[in-house]
């Protein structure tokens, strides 16, 4: 059990490698959503891995259980995780994103930043190709 | 909605001094409500009034639908209370104190008490006087949780504890109240703890409840905006509801916003400006703001 030793309590990092910063303006549930999505996409949490229960994660991070529950339901709606009644919460086999508006928003943001940095469309495309290559390489490893 | 705690015009006068000046609290069931305020703001007085340990000078309080004055006994059997200073009998052993407390509560869960002691690493055979401050706080939480209360009321539960003990305390607290039914009301001036665990917030300053809203609403709306207009600032814009204070230096303005952030920011965006940026505030910044304002009122 994880509450055997004194030191386990004090660590911000759980076996899940989630960090939260309560003082940040980004709400805690959003921090959890972002990190679990990123961990699932990068293969750090492979499909089928079991996530802690709401109660466990709330206890491990010492945060409000309502916050964890909220993050989990957003992730479930986005197809990132699956909740099986009475069994637990798991990383989904493949996220089925029916709504790609968050992606479009992120792309817009990217274009705004590129404009201010005076990055040309050609340079931007090159950067994108490079990032994609790095991403694929990392996933193969 | 039936609130877990609801007060109306709750006031207390001690020897002619108005300690609590008519507060209207509404604590949603299942929430963790952080009740913050400087020392001497009236937090402990509020808690003692909620529990029926003090009589209000005017106004009334209900906890779990029970009247704090007339139904204080029933109320206390449903509420787990951890006082700021835990005056346990110092000569008792931990296990004796647990047995002693069990006698007062029909819903006492000995198995839960045993588990909590184990989680906290509290030795049943140790005498209370030998416990450190952190251990006594944990013992207080154990005794409060062991009778399976629908509500926990904690008065400055983590003050005086070092970060290691504080984290451990908060971990057990969040884990053991994770079900939807348990409401937690805790007073604190350790704002980082409140930011971490609370989803609702009340700010008590000088006996008055200055703000009460969800943590999310709070973080979203309580912000400072720095703006430098190209033309003289439109008066109507600066008079918009939700702008709490305005500081000016030349054509530069610092607007402290407390509500209505989206609308105000959009209007600012449409007004010709050289600089426009929203500064994120943490709870401490917001709190100091409220506290400073109150000082100016006096």
| Pairs across A and B, CB distance < 8 A | 69
Indicate yes or no: CB of B199 within 8 angstroms of CB of A3: no
The predicted structure's pLDDT at residue B233 = 80
Domain range summary for chain B, segments of one domain joined by +: 5-213, 223-280
Q: Which residues of A touch B164 (CB under 8 A)?
A: 6, 9-10
* Range(s) within chain A of domains with CATH label 1.10.10.10: 7-91
Given an 8 Å threshold on Cβ–Cβ distance, is B196 in contact with A63?
yes
Say how far apart CA B235 and CA B13 lie, in whole Å: 42
The model's pLDDT over B155-190, given as tens digits with 9 standing for 90+, comes to: 999 888 889 889 999 999 999 999 868 999 999 988
Query: Greater confidence, B268 or B233?
Result: B268
pLDDT at residue A9 in the model: 37
pLDDT for B285 equals: 85
Question: Would you call A67 and B199 a contact, using CB atoms and an 8 Å cutoff?
Answer: yes
Mean pLDDT of chain B: 90
| Residues of A whose CB is below 8 A from B283 | 23
CATH code, A7-91: 1.10.10.10
B5-213 folds as Rossmann fold (3.40.50)
- Check CB contact of B208 with chain A, cutoff 8 Å: no
Mean pLDDT along residues A51-61? 91
Beta strands in chain B (DSSP E): 5-14, 17-23, 26-27, 32-36, 58-63, 66-67, 79-82, 151-155, 183-188, 200-205, 208-214, 223-229, 243-249, 252-257, 273-279
- The CATH number assigned to the domain with range B223-280 reads 3.30.70
Cβ contact (<8 Å) for B178 and A54? Answer: yes
Chain A residue with minimal CA distance to B163? A10
Give the mean pLDDT of A64-93. Answer: 90
SS3 A70: helix
3 state SS of B227 = strand
Q: What pLDDT sits at residue A104?
A: 84
Tell me which residues of chain A have a C-beta less than 8 Å from any C-beta of chain B. 3, 6, 9-10, 22-25, 27-28, 54-56, 58-67
The answer to whether residue B167 neighbours chain A at the CB level (below 8 Å) is yes
- For residue A90 the two structure tokens come to 């798991």
Which residues, including other chains, have CB under 8 Å from residue A83's CB and lie 6 or more apart? A72, A76, A89, A90
Q: In chain B, which residues have their Cβ closer than 8 Å to the Cβ of A3? A: 119, 171
Nearest by CB to residue B171, choosing from A9, A22, A67, is: A9
pTM assigned to the model: 0.81
Kindly list the residues from chain B whose CB atom is less than 8 angstroms away from the CB atom of residue A65.
174-175, 177-179
């Amino acid at each position: 059990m994880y509450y055997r030793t004194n030191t386990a309590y004090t660590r911000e990092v759980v076996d899940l490698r989630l960090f939260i910063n309560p003082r940040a303006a980004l709400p805690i549930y959003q921090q959890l959503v972002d990190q679990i999505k990123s961990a699932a996409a990068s293969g750090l949490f492979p499909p089928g891995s079991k996530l802690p229960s709401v109660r466990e994660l709330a206890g491990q991070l010492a945060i409000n259980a309502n916050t964890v529950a909220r993050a989990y339901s957003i992730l479930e709606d986005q197809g990132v995780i699956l909740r099986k009644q009475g069994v637990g919460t798991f990383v989904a086999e493949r996220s089925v994103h029916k709504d790609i508006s968050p992606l479009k928003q992120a792309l817009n943001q990217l274009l705004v930043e590129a404009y201010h940095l005076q990055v040309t469309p050609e340079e931007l495309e090159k950067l994108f190709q490079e990032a994609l290559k790095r991403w694929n390489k990392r996933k193969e490893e | 909605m039936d609130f877990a705690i609801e007060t109306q015009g709750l006031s207390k006068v001690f020897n002619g001094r108005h300690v609590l000046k008519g507060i209207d609290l509404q604590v949603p069931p299942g929430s963790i409500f952080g009740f913050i305020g400087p020392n001497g703001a009236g937090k402990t007085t509020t808690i003692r009034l909620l529990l029926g340990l003090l009589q209000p000078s005017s106004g009334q309080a209900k906890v779990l639908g029970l009247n704090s004055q007339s139904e204080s006994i029933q109320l206390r059997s449903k509420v787990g209370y951890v006082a700021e200073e835990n005056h346990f009998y110092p000569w008792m052993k931990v296990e004796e104190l647990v047995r002693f407390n069990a006698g007062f509560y029909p819903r006492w869960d000995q198995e839960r008490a045993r588990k909590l002691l184990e989680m906290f690493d509290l030795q049943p055979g140790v005498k209370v006087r030998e416990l450190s401050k952190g251990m006594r706080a944990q013992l207080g939480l154990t005794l409060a949780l062991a009778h399976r209360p629908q509500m926990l009321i904690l008065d400055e539960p983590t003050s005086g504890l070092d970060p290691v003990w504080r984290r451990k305390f908060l971990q057990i607290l969040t884990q053991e109240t994770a079900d939807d039914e348990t409401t937690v009301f805790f007073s604190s001036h350790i704002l980082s703890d409140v930011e971490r665990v609370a989803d609702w917030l009340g700010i008590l300053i000088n006996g008055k409840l200055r703000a009460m809203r969800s943590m999310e609403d709070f973080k979203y709306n309580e912000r400072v905006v720095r703006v430098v207009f190209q033309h003289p600032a439109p008066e109507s814009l600066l008079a918009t509801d939700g702008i709490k204070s305005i500081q000016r230096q030349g054509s530069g303005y610092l607007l402290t916003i407390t509500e209505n952030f989206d609308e105000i920011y959009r209007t600012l965006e449409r007004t010709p400006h050289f600089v426009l940026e929203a500064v994120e505030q943490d709870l401490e910044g917001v709190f100091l703001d409220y506290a400073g304002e109150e000082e100016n009122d006096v």
